[in-house]
Structure formats: C-alpha cells, structure tokens
Homo-oligomer: A and B are copies of this chain.
Amino acid sequence: IELLDNEFIKQSLEGVNVADIAAILDELNMDEAIYVLRLLDHSFAADILIELDEDSLVKVIREMDPIELAALIDEMESDDAADILILMPTKEREDVISNLQVKEKSANILDLLRYDEYSAGGLMAKEFIKANKNWNVIQTIEEIRRQAENVEKIYSIYVVDNRQHLLGRVSLKKIILASSDTKISDIYEPELISVPTHMEGEEVAEIMRKYDLESLPVVNAKNRLVGRITVDDILDLIREQSEEDIQAMTGISADIEESDSVFRISKARLPWLLIGVIGGLMGAKIIGLFEDGLSKYIALASFIPLVAATGGNVGIQSSSLVVQTLASKSVFNDTPWQRFIKGLMIALVNGLVLGAFVFSVVVFIYGFESIFGLTIGLAMFCVVLLASFMGTVTPLVLDKFGINPAIASGPFITTANDLLGLAVYFGVAMALLKL
C-alpha cells in the first residue's frame, strides 16, 4: 500500500495518537511496520513501539539490529523498556543494553529486569519525581524542570528524607498553590500507601482501586523508595488478567485472539477439549461397569445427562464464587471452617430443592415408580453436595500451590465432577434399586 511516498506517510501520521498508529501497524506485515517506524523520529517511534501488540512487537524487535533498537529504548521510560527487553533472548538483550546511550537508564533497566514481570517491582518505573523534605517549593520546581523530559506524567511528588526513606507525598496542586519559599516538610501529606517490590500485580491493582490512586510508590525491604507504578500499567494488567481468567475457565490454554490463525486457535483449544473427551471416555467405562443394571432399568440411562450436567453447573458456581473472593482479597474473611460450613449449608438447601423437584417431576409427571424417582432425586442431592464440596475446595488448594484458581472452573474440574457424579448416580441406583 505504501511503498512510495515517505513524506506523505510522515505527514499523515503526524498528530495521530500513537495507540492508533500502533493498531494500524499491528495489521500491516512486519516489513511494512519496520519501514514506517524507521521513517519516524526516535521518540515518536518509541512511543508507537510500546503500544504494539505483543505478537507484532516480538516480530519487529527480532528484525531490528541492536543499535537501532537501543536508540528507540533510550527514549522510553524504564518500565516500558524492560517490558520490551524481557521479550528478547538474553544474548540479544545484552547487546541492546550495551548500546544504550544513557548510562543511568541501562542501570535502571537491568535493575527492573531482576523482578518478576507481574510483581510490583516488575510493574514499576524508575522515573518519578522525588523531593527531599528539607527542600522548598522553588527547589522542587527545579527538580521537576530537570526531570520534565524523563517523567511523562507526574501525578504526585514523593517526599523522602536524607536516607531515601519514603515519608509521604505532595500533589502538584499544592506546589502550585504554595508560595515559593514554603518548605516541603510543611505541606506534604505524611499518610501514604506504598507497596513492597515483591507484591503481586493483582494485589497492587486491588490496592489502587480500593484507595482510588493513580500512582503508587514502591519501596524495597529497607523502606527506601525505588519506583512508582502508574494506573495505566494497572489497567493493562487488569485486562490481561481478566482475559486470562476467562480463558482458564473456558479451557483455552494460550493467549489467543479472534484474529489469530485457524491452526493456532485450534491448537490452543484442543488440549482442554481432549481432557474433556478422555474424561468422557472414562465415564463410558464407568457406565459400562453397570451395563447389567442398565439393561434391567433402561430408563436409568435417560437421566445420565441430568446428573452429569447438574454436577458440572454446581461445581462451576461454587468455584467461581471462591475464585472471586480470592481475587478481591477481601479483608474480613471467615475462617476456612466457617466457610466450609456455609458452603455445606448452601449445598444442602440447593440439593434439597433440586432433589425434591426432580423427584416430583419423575414420579408425578413422567409417571415412574416412586422408588425410581427417589433414586434420581437422592442421586441429585448427593451430586449437588459433592460438586459443591469439590468446587469450593479445588480453587483453595490450587491457590495454595500458587496456581491460578480460575482454572478450577475449567474443563478439568468439570470433567472430574462429571465422573464423580456418574459414580454417585450409579452407586445410589445400585443401592436403592438393588441391581
């Protein structure tokens, strides 16, 4: 589309928002995207690079040589730079870092790369404005001027003592409204929420949401201020994580989008579907064991889907409520024991209602004998209890082992619940119908 007129491309992109340009480049092929990036000046191209899709980004940085990439990274804030470098193999990454012009930046980036990508340390940027509590407003404005180019958005100025311990914050509003010889120590707010570098991203997001913060200081183990997290990074994180949760729940293994290729989407979906299928095949074996009983009471087969589906639905409901509670890290949790009792009560209520309903329909509407109705109703009751229990316990166990508890609502657990449900169903049937 655009092999010819460089000037035209440059002019038409001027003044367009970088996120929009990035969205266009995502759709172009890689050569075209790199061609456009090379046309633009470094600072503009760097801003666009940050906004690219991860897939396109990996392709683009693979094609660029280290010196070229270093020139772009020199224009970025340290957290964005680290997010890009983490996508490269170690060897190339070091090449790029050694080509950076600003030595302070390469130190900052190396520092950030040490942290887990989804911890507070991995989310933070090293660029922020801090003021010593002994400074006055004029000195602070000088510092803002000095850092103006590095720090794109200021939000708050963090106040530290001589040993870099975080004391509090002062808003730009206060700086503007104060007279120029006011001391920072007289106007700063000492009450300040900060997070340690090792805190998980999800928890950081919840803190920012709860306390309505747009930036959050990060401190190291010695309570020294080492960085700040801004709300735009958190918005990206929240979106990524809610997509991950939903994909985990629906058993899609990789991070895919509707625009990916047919083969890639199939590949991401098949593993979980196969687990479901293998579960189903095992279920067939279980039912096969009761074939004699089934041939005597052929109607038992009719209610297999009912029992299996109810077990699955109940399990998903229980687990999703637990996952939600885990995700929001509520402060006032009941003890595990109280939660267990409560889950049991809910399951008892639901199990009784559903069991009685099914019994009534089977006996009074479908006209089966009451012993048969009792079998189906009792099986329902047991399955609801069991599925609730599994649905409550599984995410808690997964969370304990550091696995995303959302997969508890996925096909794996649903399949396990189905199998358990079948076993319970035929167990009850054998006992009551004396098969």
A211 CB contacts on chain B under 8 angstroms: 17, 19
A258 to B391, CA, bound (A): 14
A301 CB contacts on chain B under 8 angstroms: 287, 294, 301, 304
A136 CB contacts on chain B under 8 angstroms: none
Closest residue of B by beta carbon distance from A23? B331
In the complex the two chains form, is A349's CB within 8 Å of B305's CB? no
A369 at the interface (CB under 8 A from B): no
Given A301-B301, A314-B273, A250–B144 Cβ distance below 8 Å?
Answer: no
Closest residue of B by beta carbon distance from A308? B305
A273 to B177, CA, bound (A): 59
A295 to B322, CA, bound (A): 43
What's the least CB distance linking A376 to chain B, in Å?
9
A301 to B307, CA, bound (A): 14
What's the least CB distance linking A337 to chain B, in Å?
14
A304 CB contacts on chain B under 8 angstroms: 287, 301, 304-305
B-contact 0/1 string along A15-57, CB 8 Å cutoff: 1010100010011000000000000000000000000000000
A313 at the interface (CB under 8 A from B): yes
Given A154-B172, A270-B350, A301-B301, A258–B321 Cβ distance below 8 Å?
Answer: yes
B-contact 0/1 string along A62-89, CB 8 Å cutoff: 0000000000000000000000000000
A239 at the interface (CB under 8 A from B): yes
Contact of A208 among B176, B235, B312 (CB under 8 A): B235
Question: Which among A99-107, A113-121, A219-227, A354-362 touches the partner chain?
Answer: A354-362
A299 at the interface (CB under 8 A from B): yes
In the complex the two chains form, is B313's CB within 8 Å of A350's CB? no
Given A210-B19, A211-B17, A354-B273, A280–B262 Cβ distance below 8 Å?
Answer: no
In the complex the two chains form, is A305's CB within 8 Å of B250's CB? no
In the complex the two chains form, is B252's CB within 8 Å of A236's CB? no
Q: Give the 7 A-B residue pairs with the shortest CB-CB distance, closest first.
A: A280-B306, A301-B301, A212-B232, A284-B302, A287-B302, A209-B235, A172-B172
